[in-house]
Amino acid sequence: MAAPSTQKQYQLVRSGTQGPFTLQLVDAPVRAPGAHDVLVKVHAASLNRRDIFLVQGQYPVGPRERVVPLSDGAGEVVQTGAAVTRFRVGDRVAGIFFQKWLRGRPSPEVLGSALGGQLDGMLTQYITLSEEGLVALPSSLSYEEGATLPCAGVTAWNGLFTRGHMQPGDNVLLEGTGGVSVFGLQFAVADGAKPIITSSSDEKLQRARKLGAVGTVNYKKTADWETPVRELTGGLGVHQVLEVGGKDSLPHALKALAPGAHVALIGGLGGFGGDIPAMALMGSNSTASGIYVGSRADFEAMNAFIEKHKMKPVVDRVFAYEDAPAAFDLMRSGNFFGKIVIRVSE
């Protein structure tokens, strides 16, 4: 498949090296792949809360004045470099969040290799990436479904499995109904764990129950929501927490822990930060881990799990490419369940 020399590409643009960005659709060149690179025709991309922080100038990207947004995308290989061995033309692939985190512990240069931040991202018709920075899509998923995986899916997988060592029967606490939490809900159900989910919306909690949540709590109606969470576990508490709320939710989550629990510190929807009382963790033999997405190995292990359990990511809405600004508006509003996707091409 021949690739054009130019493309329509979304860029976040600002005047100067600090402050918020504006989203613009521009003409941009298509970069031919080098020896170890792969050129991908992007079919779909998806948003994360991180993308809103970036637009607002609250996500570290250095002094860049232009950034192609979105870490998450899936597409088709249309050209390969002369030395590429991992992929062929026609393969269905997704980019990994950190292009240089392949396995094990992250090296110092990993943090500078995030798509849609330090590196240009996936809201573009074509992208050229190293063959090492891609994974094969699960064959059971569409491009739109596959585009939801790189950040939210891998984050939930890392928090629950790689770092959390989730076991069947574990009580799992999930905060809200965004991408990470809904993936966590699906992983927990598939693995035989018992997910409990919180939200300020009874309608969203009803949807979560249909996906397999064994318990739900409306935190807006119950300020000390750790009490009903603990009651739902028979007083034992939760073994796993995907802590996405930040400083507002962390104190409540810590009061809901079972002995030997694991807290995956992920996000800051209510503001980043919050104190972790060392004695409380020590007294219950619990652990807390900082989670910043995960490695290519995590992504591949997650994909195998998705195939085995025939999981389907939850997509709230798919926007046309020309309607990408509306997708950002929906993410900003919080009025969605699961993932927001932009269809880049058919």
Q: What is the pLDDT of residues 44-53, one digit of tens each?
A: 999 999 999 9
pLDDT at 271: 60
Backbone angles phi, psi at 6, to 5 degrees: -130, 165
CB contact at 8 A, 324 and 123: yes
**How many whole angstroms separate alpha carbon 125 and alpha carbon 313?**
23
Q: What is the pLDDT of residues 227-283, one digit of tens each?
A: 999 999 999 999 999 999 887 899 999 999 999 999 999 986 656 666 778 887 888
Considering the entire predicted model, what is its pTM? 0.96
Q: What is the pLDDT of residues 33-77, one digit of tens each?
A: 999 999 999 999 999 999 999 999 988 898 999 999 999 999 999
pLDDT at 246: 81
**How many whole angstroms separate alpha carbon 231 and alpha carbon 283?**
21
228: Cβ contacts below 8 Å, ≥ 6 apart: 215, 217, 222
pLDDT at 299: 98
pLDDT at 274: 67
Q: CATH number for the 164-290 domain, one of 1.10.3720.10, 3.90.420.10, 3.40.50.720, 1.20.272.10?
A: 3.40.50.720
Which residues of the chain have a pLDDT value below 70?
1, 268-274
pLDDT at 272: 66
**How many whole angstroms separate alpha carbon 92 and alpha carbon 276?**
42
Q: How many CB atoms lie within 10 A of CB 2?
A: 6
User: Where do the structural domains in the chain lie, given as residue ranges?
Assistant: 6-152+294-343, 164-290
Q: Domain spanning 6-152+294-343 has what CATH number?
A: 3.90.180.10
Please state, in angstroms and as integers, the Cα–Cα distance from residue 318 to each residue in 75, 267, 330, following that order: 15, 24, 11
